[in-house]
């Protein structure tokens, strides 16, 4: 399912326009993104948790040349599914 299909489903389920549904989805994504940038966790009970993790700097290898390269440390977003979501999928 892509974003447009998701917007259509939201509009159908909430009985609102596709434009309103798209704005709601964009707002939700924006709020989650801003929270993660601040280092905050976003917990949606029954659905899951969005949080960030720190990855250490490592060394890797360029597959073409075999040369050793340094991979910088970075912060990475992570989603952990909640129990209700896991149970409904399985």
Secondary structure class of 69 (helix, strand, coil): strand
CA 3 – CA 19 distance, rounded (Å): 13
Domain ranges of the chain: 3-89
For residue 13, the model assigns a pLDDT of: 95
DSSP secondary structure, 19-68, as one string: HHHHHHHHHHHHHHHHHHHTT--EEETTTEEEEEEEE--EEEE-TTT--E
CA distance 41 to 53: 11
Give the per-residue pLDDT at 16: 94
- pTM for this model (two decimals): 0.79
> What is the mean pLDDT of each successive set of 10 residues along the chain, which is 90 residues long?
95 94 96 96 95 94 93 95 93
Q: Which numeric CATH code is attached to 3-89?
A: 4.10.520.10
């Amino acid at each position: 399912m892509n974003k447009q299909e998701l917007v259509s489903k939201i509009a159908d389920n909430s009985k609102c326009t596709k434009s309103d549904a798209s704005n709601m989805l964009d707002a939700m994504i924006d709020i989650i993104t801003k929270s993660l940038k601040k280092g905050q966790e976003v917990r949606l009970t029954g659905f899951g948790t969005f949080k960030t993790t720190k990855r250490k700097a490592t060394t890797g290898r360029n597959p073409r040349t075999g040369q050793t390269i340094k991979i910088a440390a970075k912060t990475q977003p992570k989603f952990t599914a909640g129990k209700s979501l896991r149970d409904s999928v399985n």
